[in-house]
Amino acid sequence: MAKKTFETVLKWNGGEAFRAKVEVGADGWGRVFDTADGLYCGSMSPLRTRQLMQEAAYGK
């Protein structure tokens, strides 16, 4: 399975928003990177990753 990548806007717990690039692995887990500096920010569960992919593709 090819790795899928999409971009979205996420918010930190403090409320500050940032543009993020999410790479989705074969297992469904999303690895989140900040698009401004390319730093790794964390990972998302397959359920949340799928939800964000749908929002990015079709809107909220």
Residue pLDDT tens, the chain, 60 long: 567 999 999 998 888 999 999 999 999 999 999 999 999 999 999 999 999 999 988 876
- Per the structure, the count of domains in the chain is 1
Q: Output phi, psi for 49, to 5 deg.
A: -60, -45
14: containing domain: 4-58
Kindly report the number of other CB atoms within 10 A of residue 4's CB atom: 13
- Burial label, 49 (beta-carbon count in 10 A; 0-12, 13-18, 19+): buried
DSSP letter at 27 equals T
What is the predicted pLDDT for the residue at 50?
94
CA distance linking residue 13 with residue 58, whole number of Å: 25
Amino acid present at 5: T
